[in-house]
């Protein structure tokens, strides 16, 4: 299914499961919706699973950037409108979490339940933002995803995963290589420009789960715990054997956490 935003951007959407409450799964950078494949079969038995590729990612079109988080959130709203969905459970991984938080700010009434998977409330530090812009410039210049893959993928997995399950790294690399470098650069610049979301967490009254990896070097455990407690009805679900990609490293644990959330 394809949905067109007001500015003409095409958002490609995959839908699994015909019935049940809708759940939107947003992928992290530099990946695409296929990172959720191992979770979808179980979820789709009971729920309507909606997986859009963000603009510039996967099968979606690659308009000019930067891709601001509120623009990406508006794309998600357009997808729900096209599906006739008024309220949904929204789940965001990494940058997908930034988009989910922007969606929560703009369309709070449309969220039934909320989940962040290895994501954060804080904005980039000046140093982090500068690094993203520098990488975006390099990706555009070289016109390949390899600089992004080299900079991101090795630190997204727990060391145990890299040693014992190298096939997961290869799977993630295949997904990342399918993305357009221009879209990756626009998304990097959008992430660097995003605002913090600390100010809205206390106002989100729906059930919230923060899924974290015990071996995540991107989101430290102390930060993950702080994020969970920032929401009035938030809780932490820890994936003991995972890094920053628990939907690949421990899909059963992620599916169980989302299933518990959806039962509320």
CATH code at position 127: 3.40.50.1820
State mean pLDDT over 106-125: 98
What crossing angle do the helices spanning 146-156 and 166-177 adopt, rounded to 10°?
Answer: 150
Report which of 195, 49, 205 is spatially closest to residue 120, judged by C-alpha positions: 195
Host domain of residue 88: 2-262
**Count of domains for the chain:** 1
Residue 25 and residue 54 in contact, taking contact as beta carbons nearer than 8 Å: no
Give this prediction's pTM.
0.97
> Residue 137: in which H helix or E strand, if any?
helix 126-142
Q: How far separated are the first and last CA of the chain, in Å rounded?
A: 29
- For 31-86, the pLDDT digits (tens) are 999 999 999 999 999 999 999 999 999 999 999 999 999 999 999 999 999 999 99
What is the model's pLDDT at position 264?
85
pLDDT at 157 over 90: yes
Q: Tokens standing for 2?
A: 């394809």
What is the model's pLDDT at position 25?
98
pLDDT at 2 over 90: yes
| β 48-52/10-16 pair status | antiparallel
pLDDT at 18 over 80: no
What is the model's pLDDT at position 19?
83
């Amino acid at each position: 299914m394809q949905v067109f935003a007001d500015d003409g951007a095409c958002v490609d959407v995959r839908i699994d499961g015909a019935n049940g409450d809708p759940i939107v799964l947003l992928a992290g950078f530099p990946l695409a919706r296929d990172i959720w494949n191992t979770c979808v079969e179980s979820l789709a038995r009971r729920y309507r699973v909606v997986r859009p590729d963000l603009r510039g990612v996967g099968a979606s079109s690659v308009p000019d950037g930067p891709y601001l988080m509120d623009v990406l959130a508006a794309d998600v709203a357009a997808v729900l409108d096209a599906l006739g969905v008024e309220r949904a459970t929204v789940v965001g991984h990494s940058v997908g979490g930034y988009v989910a938080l922007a969606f929560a700010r703009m369309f709070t009434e449309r969220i039934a339940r909320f989940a962040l998977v290895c994501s954060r409330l804080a904005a980039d530090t000046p140093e982090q933002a500068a690094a993203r812009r520098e990488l975006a410039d390099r990706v555009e210049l070289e016109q390949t995803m390899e600089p992004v893959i080299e900079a991101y993928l090795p630190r997204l997995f727990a060391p145990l995963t890299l040693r014992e399950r190298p096939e997961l790294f290869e799977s993630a690399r295949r997904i990342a290589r399918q993305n357009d470098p221009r879209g990756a650069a626009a998304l990097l610049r959008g992430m660097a420009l995003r605002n913090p979301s600390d100010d809205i967490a206390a106002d989100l009254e729906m059930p919230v789960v923060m899924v974290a990896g015990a071996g995540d070097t991107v989101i430290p455990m102390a930060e993950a715990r702080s994020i969970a407690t920032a929401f009035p009805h938030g809780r932490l679900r820890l994936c003991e054997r995972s890094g920053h990609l628990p939907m690949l490293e421990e899909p059963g644990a992620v599916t169980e956490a989302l299933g518990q959330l959806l039962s509320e």
